[in-house]
Amino acid sequence: MATTRIPHPHTDEWYDNLAKIQIGYYYPWTSVKSEGNGEDAYMHLVKQHLTPDSIVLDVGCGHGDVALELAELCKKIIAYDRVTSYIELAKRNAQEKAIENVEFLCHDAKDLMHEQITLPAEDNSIDVIIARRGPLHWLEDARRVGHPGTVMIQLCPMEEPIPAWSNKLPHVMHYENCGRYTGAGSIHQSVENRLNQNGFMLHSGWGFDVPEIFDQPEELYKVLTWGLPADEIPAYEDVEHRLLSIFEHHAEAAGIILRHCRYLWKANII
């Protein structure tokens, strides 16, 4: 097998590689998340803060599913991502759904030349800034695009425990190599530090840690190989016996349980 370097999950290189493997940003596996999970809570919280007059900025929007779902609840959404193919897909989906109040922009907020963060919005123009599972760097330019009263809401992946069976698989499939694993340590501390560094204060933060059930070895394989370079991944047939053994020794009645962990936070510009 070739020795391609494995890009660190959620770096630009990792997203660029993922964009070659699958069309759009989504989780390719089938699983069941328990009720009370962070993803549902995020959508619920965001919706509570939208009015028909709201102008919203969706940070790192991927292929735009969230923006398209929220469009009818607000006046306008500016949604941006640095991956061209995500934005092209988002625009096609908006057209198919005849949604006209979402502006999808291909934009990299990190201006490496000037070593600064620039959000694609006018000064004082944004009422609500949202980011589902995206980066935190946007906070640097949030005060410029927002105004007193602007609400910022973000859902962050929270580090998940490494399953006991992880080392029963080839090294490349160890849990800490897959795109799902953040290795982010204490995310609530990182968020508060970033907020404080940019002159903001946390209003509320909530941690979510619920079971996510995988009832098929093929689906577990998809999680553990997600985002890895194609020439680094063992074929399913080559590791099936190990996955079956993991199911035999570690599954509960419903299947293998992974923890689904998220940190949801909200802050206001004052």
Q: What gap in Å lies between CA 270 and CA 263, rounded to an integer?
A: 23
Residues 6+ apart with CB under 8 A from 167: 174
> What residue is closest to ligand SAM based on CB?
60
Q: Is 89 in the site for ligand SAM (CB under 6 A)?
A: no
Q: Is 153 in the site for ligand SAM (CB under 6 A)?
A: no
Q: What gap in Å lies between CA 1 and CA 170, rounded to an integer?
A: 13
Both structure tokens of 135: 């980066």
- Which among 81, 132, 129, 139 has a CA at the least distance from the CA of 263? 132
Q: Which of residues 110-129 bind ligand SAM (CB under 6 A)?
A: 110
Nearer to ligand SAM, 106 or 257 (CB): 106
Q: Is 180 in the site for ligand SAM (CB under 6 A)?
A: no
Strand spans (E) along the chain: 32-33, 55-58, 76-81, 102-106, 110-111, 116-117, 128-132, 151-157, 202-214, 256-268
> In this structure, are strands 151-157 and 110-111 parallel, antiparallel, or unpaired?
unpaired
Nearer to ligand SAM, 191 or 256 (CB): 191
For residue 260, the minimal CB distance to ligand SAM (Å) is 14
Q: Is 15 in the site for ligand SAM (CB under 6 A)?
A: yes
Say how many residues touch ligand SAM, by CB under 6 A.
18
Q: Is 42 in the site for ligand SAM (CB under 6 A)?
A: no
Q: Are the CB atoms for 97 and 171 separated by under 8 Å? A: no
Q: Is 135 in the site for ligand SAM (CB under 6 A)?
A: yes
Nearer to ligand SAM, 139 or 246 (CB): 139
Q: Is 60 in the site for ligand SAM (CB under 6 A)?
A: yes
For residue 61, the minimal CB distance to ligand SAM (Å) is 5
Both structure tokens of 122: 């006018």
Where on the chain is the footprint of ligand SAM (CB under 6 A)? 15, 25, 60-62, 66, 80-83, 86, 108-110, 132-135
